[in-house]
Every structure is written in C-alpha cells, then in structure tokens.
C-alpha cells in the first residue's frame, strides 16, 4: 500500500507522528482511502435497505465497548 499524507500526523511533532496509530490492533493508523468506502457506501443506493447498522472501519479498535 502506498502511504498518503495522513491528515492528523501532519499537525503532530515528528516523534508523535512516528508513533501515531502504532497502538491500533493493525499496528498502524488507517488511511483516508481505507475509511472513505464506508462513507460512500452509506451515501449511495447500495445501502438503501440497511437500517440500524453500524460500520466499523477502525482497524480492529474497540470503540464504545
């Protein structure tokens, strides 16, 4: 995978940016291109029959659990 310029680390100091995402279960921060398809899916007609579901494009991180 080609890494893109991540948005959050660009505002961090170099040492913090180097560690960003390393504590996630996948060992790295997610890229915008990995999360965007979930939003696109919910915004298009392909999701028209979904109701009450939550998509978790979070790299395995347990959130609100």
Res 46 pLDDT > 70: yes
pTM of the complete model beyond 0.75: no
Q: How far is CA 11 from the centre of its chain?
A: 17
Give pLDDT, residue 37: 94
Give pLDDT, residue 2: 43
CA angle (13, 18, 23) in 5-degree steps: 120
Mean pLDDT of the chain: 83
pLDDT digits (tens, 9 = 90+) for 19-40: 888 888 999 888 889 999 999 9
Which of helix, strand or coil describes residue 42?
helix
pLDDT digits (tens, 9 = 90+) for 7-19: 666 788 888 888 8
Of 33, 8, 19, 7, which Cα lies nearest the Cα of 57?
33
């Amino acid at each position: 995978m080609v890494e893109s310029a991540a948005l959050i680390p660009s505002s961090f100091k170099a040492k913090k940016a180097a560690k960003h995402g390393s504590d996630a279960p996948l060992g790295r921060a997610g890229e915008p291109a990995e999360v965007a398809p979930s939003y696109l899916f919910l915004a298009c007609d392909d999701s028209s029959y979904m109701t009450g579901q939550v998509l978790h494009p979070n790299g395995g991180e347990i959130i609100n659990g």
